[in-house]
Amino acid sequence: YPSSIGQAASEGCLRMHQNDLEELFEQVRLGTLVTVVD
């Protein structure tokens, strides 16, 4: 449901567009600590 990206539409999932997710994947190593802030 791409139209819900950027809106409060889940119970805690991080929803991203595919191209943004692929870019992030290339920059983050397995085991990297991630902090999500609002």
pTM, entire model: 0.59
Domain span including residue 6: 1-29
Answer yes or no: is 17 within a domain. Answer: yes
Cα distance between residue 38 and residue 36, in whole Å = 7
What is the predicted pLDDT for the residue at 36?
81
pLDDT digits (tens, 9 = 90+) for 1-38: 778 888 887 777 878 899 999 999 999 999 999 888 87
Radius of gyration of the chain (CA): 11
Please state the domain count of the chain. 1
Whether 35 is in a domain gets the answer no
